[in-house]
Structures are given as C-alpha cells and as structure tokens.
Amino acid sequence: MLFDLLYGWRKWRGQRGIWLVLVVSLCLLCSLIGLVSSLLWMLNSDRPQWVMQHAPVITVVNQDFNGNLQPTSVYDIELLQNLPTVTAVASVAVQTTMLTVGLQDIPNLKVGFYSDSLIDVLGLPKPFSYNVWEGNKVVLSAEFWREHTTKQSVSELSLYFKDRPLAIAGVAPTSMAKIGDVKIDVWIPDRYLLQDVPTMFANNPDLYIKTKSNRYGFALLSRAAAISELQQAYSLLRSQTPRPEGGFVDSHYTPWLIDGVELKPNERALIQKQAWVLLVLLICFGFIVCSGIVSVYTQQSIVRQSEVQLKIALGGNRWDLFGQLFRENLLSLLMLIVVSPLLGFIFMEYVAKIPVYSAYFDSGLSFNSWLWLGAVLGSACLYLTCAQIPMFNAMKTQFRRGRVGQMTKAQVLMSQLVLVMQLTVIISVATLCLVLSSSQWSKYQKVSFAESLYSLKPKVTGRLSMSLSSEQINGDWLVASNEVALSSEAFTQLGAQSLSYRAQSTAAISKPINSLYVSTNFFDLLEIPFLIPATLTTDSVIINQTMALQLAEELGLSHWQGVKGVELQVLGFYYEKQLKVAGVVEDQLHFGINQAPRPVIYLHLGTQNPLIAHRLAPVIYSKGENVRLVESHLNDWAKLQSSVLSYQYAGQLNQEIINTDSAGRLLFVTSCVMALLISLLVMFTLYYRFYFAVKVQQVKWAVLLALGGRKANLVVQTIRLNIVLAGIAGVCAVLLLFSLDAYSMALLSISLIQPLLLGISLITCVLMIVGITCWVSLRTFRHSISHLLRS
C-alpha cells in the first residue's frame, strides 16, 4: 500500500502543481454544490417553517413606488373574500408599543396583533388556538421569555398592556421570532387595538381600525390559482369598491398579491437571482475542473501506457494492476474527504454573515450534506475512472518497443475539442463579468454629490414631541459653525406617497405624488442643479423635471418650462394647501440607482401637516470634515427637544445612494470571484496542457532545429494553431451567449450580447494563450538539441 502511494506520488513529478490545484478545485466544487443546492432548496418553499397550513395561501400587501412592500388595511384584505377562490382571510398588525413586565415598563417592544382567523388560515402551531384567542391570552416570543424569565412559570409572569393585565398562554416556536423584517416580542389578539383608537373615532372605532394601513394580510385559497389572474381580479375589485368616508384615505399604493406566505419578496427575488447565477457559474467551474482532471490523467496515461503494457506482457495480473492504479490515487481521495468539508464550513461561516442572506434566512442558511456527499462520491468515481485510463488504453493495444509518449490523432483531436470547450466557457464567463462590471460602473456615474456631503439620521426611542424654529426651517441654522439643511425623510426613502395633487385650473381628480419637505437651503447645500431657478417658500413648491413633464402634459402645455407659476392644490390626511410652482430641479436619485425617475414635489418644512409635524424628527445634511463635532452639537440640541431623540452619522450621501443597489454589488462580486477562480484554473490547466504538448513533440522540434529550422517559426506554428482554436471558441461563446440572452434579460435585465465587451474577452483570452504558449516554448528551447533528443 505505502509503496503504491509513494510510486503514484512520484509519477506526478513535474505536474504536482496542477495536481494540487485540481484536487483543491474539486473540493471547492463539492462545497459549493452543498451550498448552492441548499440555497435553491430553501428558496423552493413558499412559506416559513412555522406555517403549518399546506393548502394554497397568498399574502396580501401593498407595493410602494420604490417597489418595496408596505402594509395594507383590514378593509382591503376583507375585499378578497369577494373572489370565488378565496376561502378565508386573516391579518397581522405589527406595532411598536410599551408593555409592563412586573413593575418595569419596557418601551419599544414589537407586538404582533393577530386576528382570530390567522390560526386556521396559516395553521399556527401551539400554543396558538381559538381558546387562547377567545380568552384574551397572549403568546411570548422565545427571546422575550429568555430575557424576562424568572423562577415563576410562564403563566405566572405579570404582563400589562395599557394597565390591562394580559394572561399568558405560552411561548411561540423559535421560528416565529420574525414576521418579515420585524422581530416580534409578543403576540396579542387584535381586539386590543381598540384601546389605541383616537377620540375622534370613538363613535366608530371599526372605521379607524379597518381603514388604517398597518396590516399584513393572508388569504386561504380553495384551489391553486395563477397569481396574475388573482392580482388582476383584486385590482379591479379595489378600483370598483368605494372606500368608507371619514376614515384613512387610500395610500395610493399598488395592491400586491404574493404566492405563499412571503413578507420579504424583494430579498427573495435578489437571492433567487444570486442562486441561479451561482448555479450557472458553478456548472462552468465544474466543467473546467472535471475536464482538467480528465485532460491531465489522459496526458499521464500516454506516458504510462507503455509501462502498463510491459507489465501485462511480462505476465502481470490485470486485476492487480487495476488495484495498483487505485491505490496510487488514494492520496487524492483522502484530500477530497478532508479538505472539502473544511472548505464547506468556511463558506457557511462567511455566507451566513452576508447581510442579504442573514436578513432573509432568519433561522440561518443550512448546508446540504447529502448532496455534498453525493458530489464527493461522484468526484471519487471520476478520479478512480481517470486513474484507470492507462489500463484501458493498454488493453486495447499490444506492447511494442520504440519511443513512447506520442499522442494518436484521435487523442490530439479530443485534446483540441476539450481546449475549445474550456476556452468557450472562459470567454463566456469573462463576458458576463464584464457586462456586470459595465452595468455597475454606468450606475455609479449617476451619483454626483460632493464627497464631503453627509447626513445624520434621527433615532427615536419613544413618543416624540418637538418643534422646529423658523431659523432651522429657513436654512439659517449653524451647527458647530457648519451650515446644515433639513428634510422630513431620508434622501432615498420617498416610498410613502402621503400626498396627492391637482392643478386648480383643471377639474381632474387628484393624483398621488412623491413628496419631501425640506428647508430653504436644501438645494443650495446639496448643490442640486436648477433648471428653472427659484427660492422655496411656504406658499410655493419646487418640482423635478419628471413632474414638470407630467404636469405639462396634463395642462396641454407645449413645453415643460411653462409649468412655472401653475397653482397646485396639495391634499393629504386632514391636510390641504394651495401652492404655486416656483421652480424646477433636475431629477435626483431618491429611488436608488436602479429605478427610473419619478415625479417629486419639494415643499417647505413650514408647511408640514400640523397633525404629525411635531412627531417627526428631520434628517440633517451638512458638509465638512468635523463630522463628530457636528454630531455631538446636534445631539446636545436633540436632548433639549426630547429625551427619546438622538442623532447618528449615516455616512456620505453618495454611499447612501450606492447602498440602494445591494443586489447589483453582491451579484457583481460573486460573478467576479467565480470568474477569477475559473480563469486561474484555466491558466493552470492550459499551462500544463501546452507544457505536455511541447514535451510530446520536443524530439520532432529537436530534429527540425538540427536540420536548420528556426525556433521562432516553431513557436509561431504552435501559437497559430492555438489562436485558431481560440477563434472557434469565440464563435461558440457568441452562440452560447446569444442563446442565454433572453434568460439574462428576464433575470438580470442585462443583455449579454455586447460586441465590445465580447471582443475584450476574446482578445484577453488570445493574449493569455499566446503568453502561456510562448512561456512554455521558451522554457523548452533553453535546452540544447542533444538534451531535447535525450528527454
């Protein structure tokens, strides 16, 4: 056994580098198979682990103009019951409130107020039951119970909501720690929401509760149905059903039905794209690894074929020879078994910390051990099969004396075919990487704010009551001698359309509009270009160019510049203003670098709705290097306003906008890493392939040199052949990318057919081949003719 291991190790002399690269690459491949397959398997489920309902279920929410998920109202959820395929509906309202545990008040707890129908619609696990709901009992989260555990049992814990005692039914499963992105501390029957009804709705509390958009809805279906058909029927139903008067107005969001129980659809879509791209790259990587192993073992078999034939001719037992070749490769199998799970563990530790994955998979991302084991067994079979290639070749031919190690025509053609396939893969992967890089670069060119511009965001830990001075809203406020500007929301968070507008000169109905309340100096500090210069006042608005185009079309104006001076009626919840369009600014990246511009109006901070103005802390913008000093002075001011208000540095505004494209960055980084791995593997494989090809024909070259041939001509001849093969691979890559272009457009909204980038990939591949070929050839020609003849 030991002799065979040492003998097999010595046979890799001169090729130990490629042997190690291929073994480690195969270990990496097995680990990635375990990771990617687990990712796809977990994404295949349309509901969390805690949902025990197996019948078809859909999620009922709203979609804002940023494409983000927003809660809806009980009124809109109950409308679904009018559709024939809907059996029952249920809802959950997630609110931040204060509870009392014993004698201690605990603020900022997340409470899930759930309807009684949720128990059946989603099949909630124990301790949830109708008896619990009817008995007004609450269910604690596992984390909340651990934090406030005492020597008493769960049922003896004293818990109060607005001075009303709450009976505790038990502790929810750990998998119910979150609903969407929100961690739930306590589950309470939604009838407790009656205690939050304002005085103005005291005579009709149902109107307040049912029209307020604070619910995530779920509907149980009698049979599986196409979500697009349900969406169309539901949208039509909502548009035809008048909303109750006196309650909350429609938020103007788009109704959104989602297959299954899913409250993080955008994250899921991102991870699905990531998983499919990973799968494609993994297939490419696996092909390069497996073809490299077959190629290297085939090259070694050409050298060892005569050795095996000689042993058979001298009476060696063929089964013993099979066993010897098997034992010689036990070291490769041992490395595969030891290194692969180690790499898998490292990958899981790293991937679990990626924000996109950790935010979506609340219970963590698992590793598919069974598929990993299958990959390891398949790899072992590949190694053992390739190890027997010398034996298979020896059994088909007879031993003969003479020089050995020459490749047959069939072997040469097969080697060239494998090379073309490898080059096709590397050109395609390089093009994909360049396409993603180009897409990211073009996105980042849109971000043009000064590098010194940053924002400070408010952190509110309780009920806030504050007021802004005229100095602050008019842009005359200095913090630590630095000019600051204010806005009602963060720059990239304009998803909530709480206002609508209509031109007073028309009788058209009001339209929802994205809005931002800002201080007078907001545009000057952020250096936002004006297309029609103006100063923002309390009786005017400034709009962006997209809004100007929309307004010009509504009014029948010949040019968007004619909107200056148009009177607008701006409407909201118990809010109405008559304002004049004072100026127009360029479209800004309020909706991220991936979204198209949308209409936006900028209003003066002094015109905020007085019902909510005192409860909203503004976002602060400033410039300069002394960020910490500004933050410190700002927090001193915030403490004077309220003990629950503080400010923290949110980073550069440019970076805040770039962070809206986490999907693109993650996809770009993943593709580049996989492309780099594939490129390095191809370079190693090509180097040893060309090295072996030169070794095989070095006697022929030595004879030609002895007869007066020139080294340069021999090198050029080899390079010419490889360039021709690269050209064939380029054509194959174009055909492959063309066939995948439709899928790329649907999945990534990016076209793979970009001639310039494809040309760069092909030229890079050709240069790599030329470089490797020259390097190998020059290393061979350093020796004398006599040395080449003896080798």
Backbone angles phi, psi at 755, to 5 degrees: -55, -40
The conformation of residue 72, written as its DSSP 8-state character, comes to: B
pLDDT score of 497: 67
* Torsion from C-alpha of 251, 257, 258, 259, nearest 10 degrees: 160
Give the Cβ contact number of residue 356 at 10 Å. 16
The mean pLDDT value for 499-506 works out to 79
pLDDT 10s digits, 51-71 = 888 899 999 998 876 677 889
In the chain, % of residues over pLDDT 90: 17
Whether 410 maps to a domain, the answer reads no
Letter for the amino acid at 540? Answer: S
| Residue whose pair of structure tokens reads 């720690």 in the numeric block | 177
| Residue whose pair of structure tokens reads 């890559």 in the numeric block | 733
- Secondary structure (DSSP) of 204-266: -HHHHHHHSS-EEEEEEESS---HHHHHHHHHHHHHHSPPPTTSPPP--PEEEEEESS-S-HH
pLDDT 10s digits, 168-193 = 888 888 888 888 778 888 999 988 88
Task: List, in sequence order, every residue forming a beta bridge with 578; answer none if it has no partner.
Answer: 569
Whether 155 maps to a domain, the answer reads yes
| C-beta pairs of 693-700 under 8 Å, 24+ apart in sequence | 693/415, 693/718, 694/718, 694/776, 694/777, 694/780, 695/405, 695/780, 695/791, 696/302, 696/405, 696/406, 696/407, 698/780, 698/788, 698/791, 699/403, 699/788, 699/789, 699/791
Nearest to 541 by CA among 587, 592, 475, 606: 606
Separation between Cα atoms, residue 83 and residue 231, nearest integer Å: 11
Mark which of 261, 291, 313 sits at the end of a domain: 261
Whether 451 maps to a domain, the answer reads no
Whether residue 402 is predicted with pLDDT greater than 50 in this model: the reply is no
pLDDT score of 200: 78
pLDDT score of 404: 45
Letter for the amino acid at 244? Answer: P
Maximum distance among all alpha carbons in the chain? 110
The mean pLDDT value for 585-604 works out to 86
246: left (phi over 0), alpha (psi -120 to 50) or beta: left
Whether 437 maps to a domain, the answer reads yes
Mark which of 614, 643, 672 sits at the end of a domain: 643
Residues 67 and 135 in one domain: yes
Residue 752 CA: distances (Å) to CA of 93, 137, 427, 428, 672: 44, 57, 12, 9, 15
Separation between Cα atoms, residue 744 and residue 472, nearest integer Å: 49
pLDDT 10s digits, 130-176 = 888 888 889 998 888 887 765 556 556 778 888 888 888 888 888 88
Residue bearing the bigger pLDDT, 284 or 298: 284
Burial of 375 (0-12, 13-18, 19+ CB in 10 A): buried
Residues 500 and 635 in one domain: yes
| Dihedral angle sign, alpha carbons of residues 66, 71, 76, 79 | positive
| Residue whose pair of structure tokens reads 């007879």 in the numeric block | 398
Letter for the amino acid at 92? Answer: V
Residues 708 and 763 in one domain: yes
* Of 395-404, 457-466, 515-524, 547-556, the least confident: 395-404
Whether 349 maps to a domain, the answer reads yes
Residues 618 and 472 in one domain: yes
Residues 621 and 482 in one domain: yes
Cis ω before 127 (30° cut-off from 0): yes
Whether 171 maps to a domain, the answer reads yes
Whether residue 363 is predicted with pLDDT greater than 70 in this model: the reply is no
pLDDT score of 443: 80
pLDDT score of 405: 47
Separation between Cα atoms, residue 271 and residue 529, nearest integer Å: 37
Whether 454 maps to a domain, the answer reads no
Residues 592 and 728 in one domain: no
Instruction: Residue 548: give the domain boundaries.
Output: 463-643
Separation between Cα atoms, residue 22 and residue 13, nearest integer Å: 15
Residues 180 and 254 in one domain: yes
Per the structure block, which two tokens stand in for 516? Answer: 């931002």
Average pLDDT, the chain: 80
Instruction: With H, G, I as helix, E, B as strand and everything else as coil, classify residue 40.
Output: helix
Residues 203 and 61 in one domain: yes
Whether 205 maps to a domain, the answer reads yes
pLDDT confidence band for 403 (50 / 70 / 90): very low
Residues 522 and 615 in one domain: yes
pLDDT confidence band for 716 (50 / 70 / 90): confident
Q: How many independent structural domains does the chain possess?
A: 4
* Torsion from C-alpha of 77, 81, 82, 84, nearest 10 degrees: 130
Task: List, in sequence order, every residue forming a beta bridge with 457; answer none if it has no partner.
Answer: 648
Asked if residue 100 lies in contact with residue 106, where contact means CB atoms within 8 angstroms, the answer is yes
Residues 393 and 421 in one domain: no
Residues 12 and 95 in one domain: no
Task: List, in sequence order, every residue forming a beta bridge with 61; answer none if it has no partner.
Answer: 256
Separation between Cα atoms, residue 71 and residue 92, nearest integer Å: 9
Whether residue 625 is predicted with pLDDT greater than 70 in this model: the reply is yes
pLDDT score of 313: 59
Residues 67 and 209 in one domain: yes
The mean pLDDT value for 278-292 works out to 81
pLDDT 10s digits, 418-455 = 778 888 888 888 888 888 778 778 888 888 888 899 99
The mean pLDDT value for 555-566 works out to 89
pLDDT score of 264: 81
Letter for the amino acid at 291? Answer: S
Beta strands 159-161 and 86-101 are antiparallel
Burial of 182 (0-12, 13-18, 19+ CB in 10 A): middle
Backbone angles phi, psi at 462, to 5 degrees: -170, -165
Residue bearing the bigger pLDDT, 246 or 501: 501
Whether residue 537 is predicted with pLDDT greater than 60 in this model: the reply is yes
* Of 188-202, 232-246, 637-651, 680-694, the least confident: 680-694
Nearest to 515 by CA among 446, 579, 443: 579
